[in-house]
Amino acid sequence: MNKELPVVAQYCATFLKPEMHHIYRQINALETWRPVVITQKREQATVFPFPPADLRVVPKPALHWLRRWWCKQVRDVPILLFPDEARRLRDTLHAMKARALHVYFGHIGVHLLPLLRILELPVVVSFHGADAGVDMEKPPHANAMREVFERARLILVRTEAMKQDLAALGCPIEKLRIHRTGIPLDAFPFQPRTIPPYGAWRLLQAGRLIEKKGYDTTLHAFREIAASHAKARLTIAGEGPLDEKLRALATELGLRDKVTFTGFVTQEELRRLLAEAHLFLHPSRTARDGNREGIPNALLEAMASGLPVFATRHGGISEAATDGIEGRLVAEGDHGTLARSVLGAMENPENLAEMGASASARVRRDFESCAQARVLASYYDTLIQP
């Protein structure tokens, strides 16, 4: 890393969780700024290597468990830094000669409010999905988020839909900027698909096994699909808290021999699964706690590889895929229409090929990683202009 470049501190509470490839790519794609990471916890170091000289680990204090219990269980308020933690972080930023601070995820911006209150550096906070809606019905959380909006110089969002959500929460519209997820096209190259013989269609959904991903909708839809195409198979790639529940649902629906649960997959394994698939499903929905998608990274990766996508009109999905062009979009939770859309596409496979090519072209045009890194650098540049 060029030591002469201006330093932008990248605050990631955990660097990095397995599903955060998009953040790793974004940080590493920067060319005109030197990113230095500040984190409370270093994870997945072999998967996400980073120069030790550009990484600062600032562990949680010994009494964090007590703070967490008091704030979440007793008072139901946001968990904030202790004042001495905020001062140490300020000194760390000063020592690294940072010109700006980029905080990943809105709820982490809330956690860092004691730092933001004493920090003279310009701050950018980026929102990715759940952090734009969870707990916002609670006045202490909503008020804290509005203070983040006030103290940050820029607020970055992945989608126009999220931009409107944050404006409704009180973020000044002039601070909001769109910054799309960047997909490395060399890692997910376009691959044309052929019609499978004997109706042996391969369907895929990938991502964390959590409520907002709509895996139960996928399983109910696949039961109808499998009833018409006995050789069709579904792969669900990922891990998460709903693993056992979804496996039980697959058995209940009579799909035990037709659905494969892979558990966690590496990027290499994901690329293999994408190459083997004919269609990609991602019927996202708003979870009961308000958790919503931005644009799912797995959906963009599938599109880049040339897979047509069958998803929902949810969050920012319609900003990446247009119904009838890159795939098909249905209402949230509507497994019947999702199944009929897939079955209709299977009957007209030439349309699938056109959708897959359009999906890849859409990612190449609007979500390419180097282009999005330049957009991010341009936002940083505005922070230090006189």
Identify the pLDDT of residue 201: 97
Asked if residue 190 is part of any domain, the answer here is no
If asked whether residues 275 and 347 sit together in one domain, one would say yes
- Whether residue 259 lies inside any domain: the answer is yes
84 inside domain: yes
Residue indicated by tokens 């126009």:
160
> Is 55 inside a domain boundary?
yes
Tell me: do 56 and 100 sit in the same domain.
yes
Cα separation, 383 vs 386, whole angstroms: 9
- pLDDT below 50 — which residues of the chain? none
Q: What CATH number is attached to the domain comprising 327?
A: 3.40.50.2000
Are 229 and 348 found together in one domain?
A: yes
Buried b / exposed e over 333-359, threshold 16 CB at 10 Å, is bbbebbbbbbbebbeeeeebbebbbbb
- In a domain, residue 375? The reply is yes
Tell me the per-residue pLDDT of 185-222, one tens digit each, with 9 for 90 and over. Answer: 999 999 999 889 989 999 999 999 999 999 999 999 99
Q: Which two tokens stand for residue 257?
A: 């021999």
Residues 154-183: b if buried by 16+ CB within 10 A, e if exposed: bbbbbbebbbebbbeeebeeebbbebbbbb
Do 162 and 217 lie in one domain? The reply is: no
Asked if residue 14 belongs to a domain, the reply is yes
d(CA 191, CA 55): 37
Region label for 14, one of left (φ > 0), alpha (ψ between -120 and 50) or beta (otherwise): beta
Is residue 148 included in any domain, yes or no?
A: yes
Q: What angle do CA 91, 96, 98 make, to 5 degrees?
A: 95
Q: Do residues 166 and 209 both lie within one domain?
A: no
Q: Report the alpha-carbon distance of residue 230 to residue 257 in Å, rounded.
A: 11
Torsion over CA of 138, 141, 147 and 148, rounded to 10 degrees? -130
Handedness of CA 69, 73, 75, 78 (dihedral sign): positive
Residue 38 phi/psi, 5-degree rounding, is -115, 130
Report if residue 1 sits inside a domain.
Answer: no
Q: Tell me, yes or no, whether 267 and 377 share the same domain.
A: no
User: Which residues on neighbouring strands pair with residue 37, listed in sequence order?
Assistant: 10, 55
Cβ–Cβ < 8 Å for 195, 308: no
- 375/331 same-domain check: no
Please enumerate, as own/partner, the contacts of 165-168 that have beta carbons within 8 Å and a separation of 24 or more.
165/132, 165/133, 165/292, 166/127, 166/132
Domain that holds residue 122: 7-182+368-384
Query: What is d(CA 42, CA 36) in angstroms, rounded to the nearest whole number?
Result: 14
Q: What is the pLDDT of residue 136?
A: 83
Are both 166 and 20 inside the same structural domain?
A: yes
Residues 92 and 210 in one domain: no
One domain for residues 80 and 30: yes
Angstrom distance (rounded) from CA 323 to CA 330: 8
Same domain, 24 and 144: yes
* Domain total in the chain: 2
Predicted pLDDT of residue 303: 98
Q: Give the pLDDT confidence score for residue 385 in this predicted structure.
A: 87
Q: In the numeric block, which tokens belong to residue 295?
A: 């644009």
DSSP string, 214-246: -HHHHHHHHHHHHHH-TT-EEEEEB--TTHHHH
Q: Do both 215 and 168 map to the same domain?
A: no
